[in-house]
A and B are shown apart, each in its own frame.
Chain A
Amino acid sequence: MTSSTTTQSVLDQPPLVQGGLDFAGVTQTVIGVVESKETPKIWFALFGVSVILLLMLLGMIGHLIWTGVGVWGNNVPVAWGWPIVNFVFWVGIGHAGTLISAILFLFRQGWRTGINRFAEAMTIFAVICAGLFPGIHIGRVWLAYWLFPIPNQMEMWPQFRSPLLWDVFAVSTYFTVSAMFWYLGLVPDIATIRDRATTPIRKLIYGLLALGWRGSARQWHRYERAYLILAALSTPLVLSVHSVVSFDFAVSQIPGWHTTIFPPYFVAGAIFSGFAMVVTLAVPARALFNMKNLITDRHLESMNKVILATGMMVGYAYSIEFFIAWYSGNALERFTFINRAFGWYAWAYWIMVSCNVLAPQVFWFKKMRTSVPVMMVVAILVNVGMWFERFVIVITSLSRDYLPSSWGYFSPTGVDIAMFVGSFGLFFTLFLLFLRFLPMVAVAEVKNVMDQAHPSHH
């Protein structure tokens, strides 16, 4: 084990798998959760709450479709309210997964393996939550399919100059590729579950899901090629999806929306919020299912570094927006930003700045970024801050645009709040099911980064 200690002293980094786990130990740690007959009581409690919230969401959607979108607080000028804020919020969260899986994979970041499965699952569920809102937010939900280019006898066709349409394609493509990527990675692990299965039902279900994986060298070869191709495909999508989401705002001409900085700013913000969400979920999940040897403090620390970096980018974007508002000499632009900081919604703006810019600064200190309670608090604050960022962008810009006669204050209704809270129900229902029934850590990939996988070290 001399080489191992050498590595550690040179790079000053603890190993990615701790607790002296060997291959079998890793398999047992992860797959054991799926196979265990003992479900933690806390899981049932959380799942119960989530399902109740999910049912509330479904009820609210029913109410919405039955009554009309007026059940929300939207008005004119603020024709987009919380549903769009929630949409951008969830899409943002859905960023970390694919970034971790694809970009960090291409950059050969070994530490991604401990968290990628988990983060990808989070991505997919977050994009489901995100996709829900634009779908139900339109006035005539039953005609939502008109947004897709479906050939029809009336020769009606979408209007391709609209960023909203680009959005439809960007988000659906992102979802499709992320889901494929995630599932592809799952196949070898599902096959492991199948192989270890003791009951016929488990054997059948996981057998079907494993798509006939046998683990032959040829299959591994194909698998790794496919994984690489999907990673290469996903990488631009990570950047494009939130850029396109930002076009919804940047391409339109409302002061506060019409800004060229939006695409990079949105992407940075999305990664920021996505990593914060991974930390928020990973810390309790690893405690609950005893994964501390696989999702180690080193993983968390790396993520906190990303949070700090992207938080700085977001902070830079906030300040450059102000600078440009002043530097452009455009009175309307200047007003919009003064209004953000000192107008009706100044409280929202300052919540955003404190959570997104100030809170992550504690991560400059190693002690802080390795402290679990501190990182939990910061990660949750970042989640809150990033929701408010979208609130500030969507609501404050719309509430005071060009003609002062039309200015209007937006207040959410109970339905707005219930649907936002309910979307967490949908997210956690899916996420908790995932934790219980699928391997939350990519077993095959983790083994790949263990010292034992590299015989040269011995």
Chain B
Amino acid sequence: MKQPKSYFRGNLEVERSEEFLKLLKREFPEIDPEHLPPVSRRRFVQLLGASASLAAATGCRWEDEKILTFNSQPENRIPGVPQRFATTLEIAGVAAPLLVTSYDGRPIKVDGNPDHPLVNGTADVFAQASILGLYDPDRSQVVVERSGSNSANTTFDAFVAALRQKLTALRQSGGAGLAILTEETSSDSVARLKARIATELPKAMVVAYEPVNDDDEREGSRIAFGKPMRALYDLAADVVVTLDADLLGAHPMMHAHARSFASRRNPDAGSLNRLYAIESNHSTTGAMADHRLALRPSLVAAFVQSLAARLGVPGMAASKALDEQPRAKAFVEAVAKDLLSHKGRGVVAPGRTLPPAVAAHVHRINAFLENASKTVKYVALRDAPGHAAGLRDLVAAMNSGAVRTLLVLGGNPVYTAPADLAFADAMKKVETTVHLGLYADETAAVSTWHVPQAHYLEAWNDARAYDGTPTLAQPLIAPLYGGKTALELLSFVLGDEGVSDFEVLRATFKAQSQSGADALAFESAWRHAVHDGFVKGTSAATEIPALAANLPALPTDATSGAEFPANGQFEITFVPCTKLFDGRFANNGWLQELPDFMTKTTWDNAALIAPGTAKKLGLVNGQMVKLSWKGRELEMAAYLLPGHAHGCVTVALGYGRDHAGVVGGSLEGDVEPVGFNTYALRPSDAMSGGGGLTVDVLRKHYEFAMVQDHHMIDTTGKEGRQERLGALVREADVAEYAANPDIVHEHDHVTPLSLWKTFEYEGLRWGMAIDLSKCTGCNACVMACQSENNLPIVGKEMVRKNREMHWIRIDRYFSAEDIHDDDDVQVVSQPLPCQQCENAPCEQVCPVGATMHSSEGLNDMVYNRCVGTRYCSNNCPYKVRRFNYFNYHEDLKDSANEALKMAFNPEVTVRARGVMEKCTYCVQRIQNTRITAKNQKRPIKDGEIVTACQQTCPAQAITFGDLNDQNSMVSKEHASKRSYSLLSELNSRPRTAYLARIRNPNPELVAKA
């Protein structure tokens, strides 16, 4: 018989070129190009006719889009008026209570839940950037079945049918051969379902694994108290000592910490507290500290021992390791005195990377200082095996063949699992592996089934905040790509086929609720909880755990105290990335392009090394190094971080992914991985890091994409920078400030002259104040602005060319960059939005009048009028203007990126190519509030308008309001003695005032220095 003729649509298809297959996959993910059936001539003609008539009828392929009016208007819904819903984002088992803004059913902005006491309306960068993740076109959109090297797109029903068979058999054998791997979660619903699995399928293995986990922290509290506890710190305490703990930065309680810390940093309102940071990496907390001591991790342990001894904790003797470290010894002395004189009003906080025994000793120090229950509170944690141990057992079972069906519900263990476990190889030995994930990632690539996961904004969930209070998550939108949740799949495993996450959640809530059989009371409680995002009035049950009688000794005497240990004796620390966390956000462009606060690098991680150590190694910034540790090697670029401890290297996790997507790196999409995969070095027995690292300097250089110090700076530049720093970021010691409140203005040279008659503001006059004493540099404001104002991302190459588009940036300066005194490096930061100058240099030079002053003092940017001479940017002394050198929204033309359009804020123009843009003080928010106030026939209240950066600032360092109102918050801040204008000598008269940073050094340490 004759073969039926096959017809084709173009050359690309005949050749079945890579390019065509890629195109097809992006355009029609539901069609698997490998399995396109051959088309017969008859069928072709049929389709041809049908297509022609369909084309005539509709003209586009979105014919199934239905736009219908509401049959009955939903309550409280006015088209075009945004609605806000409370929900929760859970990362590594910690819930962040959120409030999400939704425009006509499409979420566009994530903020913190203002009612929740832990966050007070602020959200970290991960939560804020998650909105882009929701609309990421690279998210997996279809169920994939894979056998061997073949993979085929299929449907969820096909998956259900296939798994149903397996499960029936498994259930009969009590779950033998079944293993379930979940992410760490504090969800009560997941816990409930897992408990059911334990009884109904007793032989099944259920394991939770999280690459960034609190194993050591739990173990530390187990040693100290006999049970896992979590410490909660009150940073409003008088003396705060952090030990490799980034309480103000990479910590789940960052918001609460920043807020309480900031409450003690206003010299005009009470005494300042004092922060000591003892750390190996140079963290955000270190940047905020009044005194900072750089010590490599093993010496931090020695420091704890010496501190305990100096405080008088019984049975402790000072560590000999610190003998060669005079500065550390002076620190022990000063810190101990300070702590002893503030008993019950101090905090000593151990970091997550400290060995458990050290953490236990810190718990004892807090108890000894009577801080426990006052400034340090403890909440109980669910007892669970360690993540590394659990995963190790699971891999052993997989390798032995005991596991025949593995469900990976969320997470990406192939990428994040410790290198020694070879998780991918183990997975290949399991007959059926199911991966539920947001992306077709590294794990999906070796699973027999991949099921798209629902984004948290598409799902119901519950989780507990860091302090243990329960929160609820509700979906903001129906799953865009038919994603499923872990709750649904767990229910399915239990035989509750078709049970939705909503039903699971309600059942959990019912089981917990006090309402009993009263349906009405339950409904009311449920609705309130969903509305609020948490159960109001609940607070964590804190307790004062009893300390174990004997703690293991800290054998730190043997630790080398040499200032520069020999190469090969270096230490390595793995930390979560401040932008990508454990790598899960690798495909999020907003986060990739967010500059790290300390390094100012975007789109990369780096091996952080102290300049002094680097000099000994003959290493310069950006040079490639080979890290060899425990038999594994990794080549990565080195970044010389002033203030980093000597003899150790800090590396961030989360980079170097090859199945992340077109943003974060993808083998299929020919996109180079972004950064270096440090998981390749990380073993299961030392997930925080350890000693014995060798650093080999390679003869290769790497160009970071930085938003500050874009290029290596020469001596002339360094001198010029240090010379003017004091005038730009003003600071004073608390004693100096008390003696001379005008100290901030000592070098002012302001002559308020104007060629033109000054405009009289009769009504409103907007202004902003930023308190440098409070700003921690957490980047939340940068991300808030990105999301609120539709800022484009420009990519690594463009950042290298200094073309980043952030409207607010955080300038970070080191007080000293000399290699020899990098221990003493202090850091100042300065968030810099448009200063909205009264006498704006940009306005005077624009030839077309595209940037004009408003009657309320705003420096408005008229995008329509801008022709792009860029003269305004040249003349702006603050360089806050950003130019669209290209059409940065070109990718939206690709039909595959249709979903991305939904992430835009409809109230803010998306800027065209060739147009200048800059911070507007969130003019759209000003206008909205004005309309509301006008409708209600009342003046705008102080504090009613909140800019995006201000709203999300956890430290409340930003104030905005009417300067004409003498009683407004911002007027009071402007009137402060600490208030100064940046570059005031230029007579540009900025409306954004800075409040000088006041430090509170310990006189004893200052005298010694």
B241 smallest CB distance to A (angstroms):
31
Quick one: which of B712-758 are within 8 Å of A by CB? 713-714, 716-717, 720-721, 723-725, 728
Q: Is B874 part of the binding interface, using a Cβ–Cβ cutoff of 8 Å? A: yes
Picked from B811, B841, B883, B886, the residue with its CB within 8 Å of the CB of A253 is: B841
CB <8 Å contact, B717 and A400: yes
CB <8 Å contact, B849 and A140: no
Q: Is A315 part of the binding interface, using a Cβ–Cβ cutoff of 8 Å? A: no
Identify the 10 closest CB pairs spanning chains A and B, nearest first: A139-B868, A139-B914, A70-B885, A79-B870, A406-B879, A405-B811, A75-B802, A159-B849, A408-B802, A404-B721
A408 smallest CB distance to B (angstroms):
4
In Å, the complex CA distance between A407 and B913 comes to 24
CB <8 Å contact, B717 and A144: no
CB <8 Å contact, B844 and A161: yes
* Contact code string B782-809 (vs A, CB < 8 Å = 1, else 0): 0000000000000000100111000001
CB <8 Å contact, A157 and B849: yes
In Å, the complex CA distance between A335 and B709 comes to 17
In Å, the complex CA distance between A146 and B884 comes to 19
In Å, the complex CA distance between A139 and B863 comes to 12
CB <8 Å contact, A68 and B870: no
CB <8 Å contact, A405 and B868: no
In Å, the complex CA distance between A115 and B935 comes to 75
* Contact code string A142-185 (vs B, CB < 8 Å = 1, else 0): 01101100000000111101111100100000000000000000
Q: Is A239 part of the binding interface, using a Cβ–Cβ cutoff of 8 Å? A: no
CB <8 Å contact, B867 and A253: no
B198 smallest CB distance to A (angstroms):
55
**What are 8 of the A-B contact pairs (CB < 8 Å)?**
A79-B871, A79-B873, A80-B874, A335-B723, A400-B717, A401-B877, A401-B879, A404-B717
B707's closest neighbor in chain A, by CB? A405
List B contacts of A138 (CB < 8 A).
Answer: 867-870, 914
* Contact code string A64-104 (vs B, CB < 8 Å = 1, else 0): 00011110011111111000000000000000000000000
A63 smallest CB distance to B (angstroms):
12
CB <8 Å contact, B717 and A68: no
Q: Is B667 part of the binding interface, using a Cβ–Cβ cutoff of 8 Å? A: no
In Å, the complex CA distance between A402 and B809 comes to 16
CB <8 Å contact, B720 and A147: no
A83 smallest CB distance to B (angstroms):
10
List B contacts of A406 (CB < 8 A).
Answer: 708, 878-879
CB <8 Å contact, B867 and A338: no
Stretch at the interface among A339-347, A380-388, A414-422: A339-347
CB <8 Å contact, B723 and A80: no
List B contacts of A302 (CB < 8 A).
Answer: none
List A contacts of B798 (CB < 8 A).
Answer: 70
List B contacts of A161 (CB < 8 A).
Answer: 844-845
Q: Give the A-B contact count at a CB cut-off of 8 A.
A: 176
CB <8 Å contact, A252 and B845: yes
Q: Is A332 part of the binding interface, using a Cβ–Cβ cutoff of 8 Å? A: yes
Q: Is B380 part of the binding interface, using a Cβ–Cβ cutoff of 8 Å? A: no
CB <8 Å contact, B716 and A343: yes
Quick one: which of B564-603 are within 8 Å of A by CB? none
Report if A339-B720 is in contact (Cβ < 8 Å); known contacts: A139-B914, A403-B879. yes
Quick one: which of B877-896 are within 8 Å of A by CB? 877-879, 881-887
- Mostly, the B contact residues are loop
A80-B874, A404-B813 given; 12 more Cβ-contact pairs under 8 Å:
A77-B874, A138-B870, A139-B866, A139-B868, A146-B867, A162-B845, A162-B871, A331-B723, A335-B723, A344-B717, A407-B713, A408-B710
A152 smallest CB distance to B (angstroms):
12
Q: Is B542 part of the binding interface, using a Cβ–Cβ cutoff of 8 Å? A: no
A144 smallest CB distance to B (angstroms):
7
Q: Is B865 part of the binding interface, using a Cβ–Cβ cutoff of 8 Å? A: yes
B983's closest neighbor in chain A, by CB? A402
Q: Is B486 part of the binding interface, using a Cβ–Cβ cutoff of 8 Å? A: no
Binding site for B on A (CB under 8 A): 67-70, 73-80, 137-141, 143-144, 146-147, 156-159, 161-165, 168, 248, 251-254, 331-332, 335, 338-339, 342-344, 398, 400-409
CB <8 Å contact, B886 and A252: no
Q: Is B931 part of the binding interface, using a Cβ–Cβ cutoff of 8 Å? A: no
Q: Is B916 part of the binding interface, using a Cβ–Cβ cutoff of 8 Å? A: yes
A39 smallest CB distance to B (angstroms):
43
CB <8 Å contact, A76 and B720: no
CB <8 Å contact, A67 and B886: yes
In Å, the complex CA distance between A408 and B913 comes to 22
Q: Is B337 part of the binding interface, using a Cβ–Cβ cutoff of 8 Å? A: no
In Å, the complex CA distance between A338 and B710 comes to 20
Q: Is B499 part of the binding interface, using a Cβ–Cβ cutoff of 8 Å? A: no
CB <8 Å contact, B914 and A404: no
Report if A343-B717 is in contact (Cβ < 8 Å); known contacts: A158-B847, A331-B723, A403-B879. yes
Picked from A141, A251, A335, A405, the residue with its CB within 8 Å of the CB of B845 is: A251
* Contact code string B958-996 (vs A, CB < 8 Å = 1, else 0): 000000000000000000000000010010000000000
CB <8 Å contact, B728 and A403: yes
List B contacts of A156 (CB < 8 A).
Answer: 848-849, 865
List B contacts of A405 (CB < 8 A).
Answer: 708, 809, 811-813, 830, 832
In Å, the complex CA distance between A147 and B711 comes to 36
Report if A344-B714 is in contact (Cβ < 8 Å); known contacts: A79-B873, A158-B848, A401-B879. yes
CB <8 Å contact, A402 and B841: no
A402's closest neighbor in chain B, by CB? B877
List A contacts of B986 (CB < 8 A).
Answer: 253, 402
Picked from B710, B846, B848, B869, the residue with its CB within 8 Å of the CB of A407 is: B710
List B contacts of A251 (CB < 8 A).
Answer: 845
In Å, the complex CA distance between A343 and B719 comes to 11
List A contacts of B809 (CB < 8 A).
Answer: 405
B490 smallest CB distance to A (angstroms):
49
Report if A253-B848 is in contact (Cβ < 8 Å); known contacts: A144-B867, A164-B869. no
CB <8 Å contact, A68 and B802: no
Q: Is B123 part of the binding interface, using a Cβ–Cβ cutoff of 8 Å? A: no
Report if A408-B720 is in contact (Cβ < 8 Å); known contacts: A162-B845, A253-B841. no
In Å, the complex CA distance between A69 and B865 comes to 18
Q: Is B83 part of the binding interface, using a Cβ–Cβ cutoff of 8 Å? A: no
CB <8 Å contact, B847 and A162: yes
In Å, the complex CA distance between A359 and B714 comes to 29
List B contacts of A141 (CB < 8 A).
Answer: 914
List B contacts of A165 (CB < 8 A).
Answer: 847
In Å, the complex CA distance between A341 and B881 comes to 28
Q: Is B915 part of the binding interface, using a Cβ–Cβ cutoff of 8 Å? A: yes
List B contacts of A338 (CB < 8 A).
Answer: 716, 720
CB <8 Å contact, A146 and B848: yes
List A contacts of B881 (CB < 8 A).
Answer: 76
A411 smallest CB distance to B (angstroms):
8
* Contact code string B838-865 (vs A, CB < 8 Å = 1, else 0): 0001001111110000000000000001
Q: Is B875 part of the binding interface, using a Cβ–Cβ cutoff of 8 Å? A: yes
List B contacts of A78 (CB < 8 A).
Answer: 802
CB <8 Å contact, B879 and A77: yes
B713's closest neighbor in chain A, by CB? A407
Report if A403-B811 is in contact (Cβ < 8 Å); known contacts: A69-B885, A147-B867. yes
List A contacts of B812 (CB < 8 A).
Answer: 405
B286 smallest CB distance to A (angstroms):
20
In Å, the complex CA distance between A168 and B869 comes to 12
In Å, the complex CA distance between A335 and B725 comes to 13
Quick one: which of B187-219 are within 8 Å of A by CB? none
List B contacts of A68 (CB < 8 A).
Answer: 884-887, 913-914
List A contacts of B723 (CB < 8 A).
Answer: 331, 335
List B contacts of A139 (CB < 8 A).
Answer: 866-870, 883-885, 913-916
List B contacts of A74 (CB < 8 A).
Answer: 870, 885
* Contact code string B899-935 (vs A, CB < 8 Å = 1, else 0): 0000000000000111110000000000000000000
List A contacts of B708 (CB < 8 A).
Answer: 405-406
A253's closest neighbor in chain B, by CB? B841
CB <8 Å contact, A404 and B724: yes
B551 smallest CB distance to A (angstroms):
46
CB <8 Å contact, B844 and A162: yes
